[in-house]
Amino acid sequence: MKQNVSFNLNGKPVEVEVNGDESLLTVIRTYLDHTGTKYGCGMGHCGSCTILIDKEPVRSCMMYAEDVAGKEITTIEGLAKGEELHPVQKAFVEHDALQCGYCTPGMIMNATGLLLKKPDMTREEIIEGMEENLCRCGSYMRIIDAIQTAGKEMKGGM
């Protein structure tokens, strides 16, 4: 049954027609053409589809569009302010915390969500919070460093 769902995407109101049973990941990537968010497993295991819903990191492959009606969604495309990268993006570049870059949007969104709650995470807390985001290229060590760097910058409040 077709229905319309409205929410805010990266600060802009959007209305989208959905069937009702498709994943939010499909809605974002295919209907709304925000392809920065990636499919990795479709079952909630890898985290490449992570976005923020009202600042909470969430796996979009496990959500329906109707779950987000009226909410504020942030995807990787919505982090930078124009040319000015978000501190987490900046830190990922600075530490080269990526290789193929496919897991990167999900890593950054999950890290951003964690840092918004607690900018001064310990290494152990970072590992725990990031544990279910998978990177086959093995960039984990540099991702941890990048999150620590970004946390320092975000401490002052975002």
Partner 1 sequence: MKAEKINELYFGDVDHPVTTYDRRDFLKRLGGGIIIIMSFSELSFLTGCKTKQDEERPDFNAYLHIKEDGSVDCLTGKIEMGQGVITSLAQELADELEVPFKSVNMVMGDTDLCPYDAGTWGSLTTRFEGPVIRAAGAEAREILIGLAAKELGVSEKQLEASEGEVFDKNDKSKKISYADLTKGQRIVQQLKKAPELKKSKDFDIIGKSVISTDAVDKVTGKAVFSGDIKLPGMVYATIVRPRVWGSKKLSVDASGLDDFEGAELVEDGDLVAVVHPDPEVASKAAQKVNVEWDAPESKADNETIFKYFVDNITESEVNEEGGMLSSGREACETIVEAEYHDGYKAHSPVEPHTATCYFEGDKLTMWASTQTPFGTREALAETFSMPKEKVHLKQNFLGGGFGGKIYNPQAIEAARIAKLSGKPVQLAYTRREEFFNDYFRPAAVVRSASGVDSEGKLKLWEFDIYCAGSRGTGLSYLYDIPNNRTRTFNKGDIHPFSTGAWRAPGNNTTTFARESQIDATAHAAGIDPLEFRLNNITNPEMKATLELAAETFNWNKEKPEGHGYGISLGWDAGTYVAMIAEVKVDKATGEVQPIRVVCAQNMGQVVNPHGAKVQTEGGITMGLGYALTEEMEFDWGRVITRNFDSYHFTKFSMTPEIESVFADNMDAAPQGGGEPAIICVGGAIANAVFDACGARVNRQPITPERILAALG
Judge residue 65's burial from the number of C-beta atoms within 10 Å of its C-beta, 0-12 exposed, 13-18 middle, 19 or more buried.
buried
Q: Is 45 near ligand FES (CB under 6 A)?
A: yes
Binding residue for ligand FES, selected from 22, 30, 96, 101, defined by CB under 6 A: 101
Per the listing, tokens 């968010």 go with: 37
* 56-59 sheet: strands from edge to edge: 12-18, 3-9, 72-74, 50-53, 56-59
Give the residue with the Cβ less far from partner 1, 117 or 123. Answer: 123
Which phi and psi angles does 110 have, rounded to 5°? Answer: -65, -45
What is the C-alpha to C-alpha distance for residues 7 and 148, in angstroms, rounded to an integer?
A: 32
Give the residue with the Cβ less far from ligand FES, 105 or 119. Answer: 105
Q: Is 140 near ligand FES (CB under 6 A)?
A: no
Per partner kind, with CB cut-offs from 5 to 8 A, the member of partner 1, ligand FES, none near residue 153 is none
Binding residue for ligand FES, selected from 7, 18, 27, 48, defined by CB under 6 A: 48
Task: By CB under 6 A, name the binding residues for ligand FES.
Answer: 39-42, 44-49, 59, 61, 98-104, 135-137, 139
